[in-house]
Chain A
């Protein structure tokens, strides 16, 4: 158990809909990261937040957005969903802002299926 908690574990929704994925980082961790894993793209970095502020942005679509709240939990919002958004979404956390020596720990993921 990494200490990173993600909900829901599984989610099925229709095209065009909007969903929110939630992540609680490990106790004491200030950074939250979101990754997407689909069959054809592998694990892709989406976005990082540090202590409530956006820190780095990867291959995140404009239809997707994220935020980190004062209690440090984070939410990833996916809107206007398409079939191709079906994937595993992982949240991860680390203690610092992204220092290369600080280990990043991953949650167990949220399975999103768009039908």
Chain B
């Protein structure tokens, strides 16, 4: 089962920052937080991941709280093409490997 809680849906105005929250209060010390998105029925697209420190790449920024119980994905300037379902995933050790277990995600709609 997913160890994360996300709002089911959010709207964001085009050109504004989209801030997607995620709660993972039961995260363990060596478990990473990953973010993926899925546009329509395409394959999940990797966005970013982190363990303790904040991370930034060309797509987004990931802010992880000091207690690691929650995080926020930031898309700095949302465009219409960012409309998608965003998944926050705690990568857990399960049956011999660290795999991804997807929850229901947040459906982000970017509004013109």
Partner-B contacts on A (CB < 8 A): 2, 4, 33, 35, 37, 42-45, 48, 50, 55-58, 88, 90, 92, 97-101, 103-109, 111
Is B97 touching A106 in the complex (CB atoms < 8 A)?
A: no
Is A104 touching B100 in the complex (CB atoms < 8 A)?
A: yes
Is B91 touching A55 in the complex (CB atoms < 8 A)?
A: no
Chain A residue contacts of B93, Cβ below 8 A: 100
Is B99 touching A58 in the complex (CB atoms < 8 A)?
A: yes
Residues of chain B in range 29-80 having any CB-CB distance to chain A below 8 Å: 30-32, 34, 36, 41-46, 49, 51
When chains A and B are docked, how far (Å) is the Cα of A55 from the Cα of B101? 16
Is B45 touching A106 in the complex (CB atoms < 8 A)?
A: yes
Q: Which of A4, A92, A100 has the most B CB atoms < 10 Å from its CB?
A: A100
When chains A and B are docked, how far (Å) is the Cα of A98 from the Cα of B94? 10
Is B41 touching A56 in the complex (CB atoms < 8 A)?
A: no
Is B31 touching A55 in the complex (CB atoms < 8 A)?
A: no
Is A42 touching B42 in the complex (CB atoms < 8 A)?
A: no
B112 CB within 8 Å of chain A: no
Chain B residue contacts of A56, Cβ below 8 A: 94-97, 99
Is B32 touching A43 in the complex (CB atoms < 8 A)?
A: no
Interface of A is mostly: strand
Chain B residue contacts of A100, Cβ below 8 A: 30-32, 91, 93, 98
Is B43 touching A108 in the complex (CB atoms < 8 A)?
A: yes
Nearest CB in chain B to that of A2: its residue:
B43
When chains A and B are docked, how far (Å) is the Cα of A106 from the Cα of B100? 11
Chain B residue contacts of A90, Cβ below 8 A: 43-44
